[in-house]
């Protein structure tokens, strides 16, 4: 009798073990998919961060070169001349007004007209007719 009870218990347990095995496979499949999604999104974030680092390195190189140019003697001299209107000893600075003011101040010449010579076909036509 004990053997029969044990046999029926193991038989029922066998039916439940199949269901339990299917549930465990489903659970582990879902867990595996979630982990794969996390790894994939992490690798995408890492790649985006690498691209950002490369962009910042290029920008840093550009800024270093720009700083190097601005620290040069030629640039400093040009800025002193252009923005502060300074000159070397013996040089004369001529400051002109804006282009619009110059046009207003300049005398108009009436005899200047845009003149284009006649094209060749008109010249031939005048000769023969």
Measure the CA angle with vertex 87, ends 81 and 90; round to 5°. Answer: 155
What pLDDT sits at residue 66? Answer: 94
Q: Could you state, in order of their start, the residue ranges of all structural domains in the chain?
A: 1-88
Tens-binned pLDDT, residue by residue, of the chain (129 aa):
667 776 676 677 666 777 777 788 899 999 999 999 999 999 999 999 999 999 999 999 999 999 999 999 889 888 888 888 787 888 887 777 888 888 887 777 665 556 678 888 888 888 887
Contacts of 76 (CB under 8 A, 6+ apart): 70
Contacts of 118 (CB under 8 A, 6+ apart): 126
CB 51 within 8 A of CB 57: no
pTM of the model: 0.47
Q: Distance between CA 23 and CA 29 in Å, rounded?
A: 10
- Secondary structure class of 72 (helix, strand, coil): coil
Contacts of 102 (CB under 8 A, 6+ apart): 96
CB 75 within 8 A of CB 69: yes
């Amino acid at each position: 009798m004990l053997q029969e009870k044990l046999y029926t218990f193991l038989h029922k347990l066998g039916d439940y073990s199949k269901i339990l095995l299917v549930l465990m496979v489903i659970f582990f499949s879902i867990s595996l998919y979630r982990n794969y999604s996390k790894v994939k999104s992490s690798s995408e974030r890492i790649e985006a961060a690498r691209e950002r680092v490369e962009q910042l390195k290029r920008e840093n190189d550009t800024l270093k070169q720009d700083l190097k140019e601005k620290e040069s003697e030629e640039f400093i001299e040009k800025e002193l001349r252009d923005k502060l209107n300074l000159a070397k000893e013996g040089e004369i600075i001529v400051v002109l007004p804006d282009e619009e003011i110059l046009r207003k101040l300049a005398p108009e010449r009436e005899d200047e007209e845009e003149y284009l010579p006649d094209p060749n076909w008109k010249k031939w036509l005048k000769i023969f007719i």
